[in-house]
Amino acid sequence: MTDSRPIVLTGDRTTGPLHLGHYIGSLVNRVALQDSHRQFLLLADAQALTDNMGNYLKVRDNVLQVALDYLAVGIDPAKSTIFIQSLVPELSELASYYLNLVTVARLERNPTIKDEIRLRGFERDIPAGFLTYPAAQAADITAFRATVVPVGEDQIPMIEQTNEIVRRFNASVGQEILVECKAVVPRVGRLPGFDGKAKMSKSLGNALPLGASPDAIRQAVKMMYTDPNHLRVEDPGQVEGNVVFTYLDAFEPDTAMVEDLKARYRRGGLGDMVIKKQLEARLQALLEPIRTRREDYARDPAQVMAILKDGTARAREAAAQTLDDVKRAMGLNYF
C-alpha cells in the first residue's frame, strides 16, 4: 500500500539548540502533523554553512542538539523522517541544475534574501552560496515532492521561488516531473524575546532553550519585559507589548484565566510578580517533560545518531528517486 498522506518538508539550520519560539512557532505543529502527513525533517547543516564557513564545530555539534530537541518535544522517528542535509548528495545535484533556471537578478530581488543580507551585514561580500540558497531550498522541497511547507511569513517569497523553478523545469522538459508546494504560515506569530525585542535568538541572549533548567526558566521570567510604566501594584498596567501576557497567550491553555488576569492588570492592583509566577509555573510544567526526555536521549547520543542514520537513508531513497526522474527527463541517463 502506498502512503497517500500529503508530504511536508520542514527543518532547521543547525546553528544552535531550539528555543520556545521554535516550539510554539513550528515544533507543536510538527508533532501534530506527523500522523496526518508524511513528514521530512531536515537538519540543515549544509545550509547553515552558507554563512558559517569556518564555524564547522558549531554546525556539526548542533545537528545532535537540534535532533535532541525534536525527539524531546515528541517528534516520533517512526512517523517522521529526520535526516542530515549534507548526507543527501542528491540535494546538491538537484540544486546545481535549478541554479540554471533562476537568474542572478531574480535572486537579488528575492525579499527574503534581501532582508537576510541586510540582517547579516553582508553588503557586497555576499557568499555566492548564500545568494543562491533559494535554489538549494527548492531542491530540499522538491526532492521529497513536498506539497506543504510550513514557513514564517517572511519566507513566503522563498516558496514562490521554488514554485517558479518547478514550473520552469517542467516546461523545459515538457513533463510534469516536479510538484509545486504551498507555504503554510502558522497562526501563531513570532514570539518576542523575553527582553521585549521582536526577535528571539540565542545570540541575543533573550531566548529560552527547550532544555533550559528550572533555574534558567525562573531567571528568564524574572527578567521578562512587562510594562515599564507599571511601577506600583495599584497602578493600571498595559497588556499590549507586555511580554508576560504575550507568553501567557501563547502557552497558557486556560484562556479565561488569562483574560481575567489581563482585566485585573489593566484596572490596576495586579503586580508583575503575580503574572510572572503564573507564567513561570506554566513554563516549568511545559518544559519539565521536554527537558527530561531531552536528558534521556542525550545520555545515549549513539541511539540518536542511529535514528538520524536511518532517517537519512530513507530521505536519500526518496530524493534519489526524484533526482533520477529529473535527470532522465533531461536525457542525462546514459547507461
Q: Any bridge partners for residue 9, and if so which?
A: 40
277 forms part of the interface with its own copies (CB under 8 A): no
- Site for its own copies (CB under 8 A): which residue of 50, 110, 161, 226? 50
Classify residue 314 by burial, with Cβ atoms within 10 Å: 0-12, 13-18, 19+. middle
How many CB atoms are located within 10 Å of the residue 196 CB? 15
Shortest Å, Cβ 44 to its own copies: 12
In whole angstroms, the minimum distance from the beta carbon of 264 to its own copies comes to 52
**Residue 293 vs residues 31, 59, 304: alpha-carbon distances, Å:** 15, 23, 12
Q: Does 62 bind its own copies (CB under 8 A)?
A: no
CB of 107 to its own copies, least distance (A): 6
CA atoms within 13 A on the CB side of 43: 31
Q: Does 102 bind its own copies (CB under 8 A)?
A: yes
Extended strands (E) in 181-324: 182-184
Sheet holding 182-184, edge to edge: 80-84, 38-44, 7-13, 148-150, 182-184
Q: Contact between 87 and its own copies (CB under 8 A)? A: yes
Q: Is 273 among the residues that bind its own copies (CB under 8 A)? A: no
Does 121 interact with its own copies (rule: CB under 8 A)? no
The residue within the footprint of its own copies, chosen from 6, 60, 116, 264 (CB under 8 A), is 60
Strand positions, DSSP E, 144-219: 148-150, 182-184
Q: Does 82 bind its own copies (CB under 8 A)?
A: no
Burial level of 225, CB count in 10 A (0-12/13-18/19+)? middle
Q: Which of 23, 97, 194, 245 binds its own copies (CB under 8 A)?
A: 97
Q: Taking contact as CB under 8 A, which single stretch among the options 48-56, 141-149, 183-191, 281-289 is the one that binds its own copies?
A: 48-56
Q: Which residues bind its own copies (CB under 8 A)?
A: 45-46, 49-51, 53-54, 56-57, 59-60, 63, 84, 86-87, 89-90, 92-93, 95-97, 99-105, 107, 124-132, 135-136, 168, 172-173, 305, 308-309, 327, 329-332, 334-335
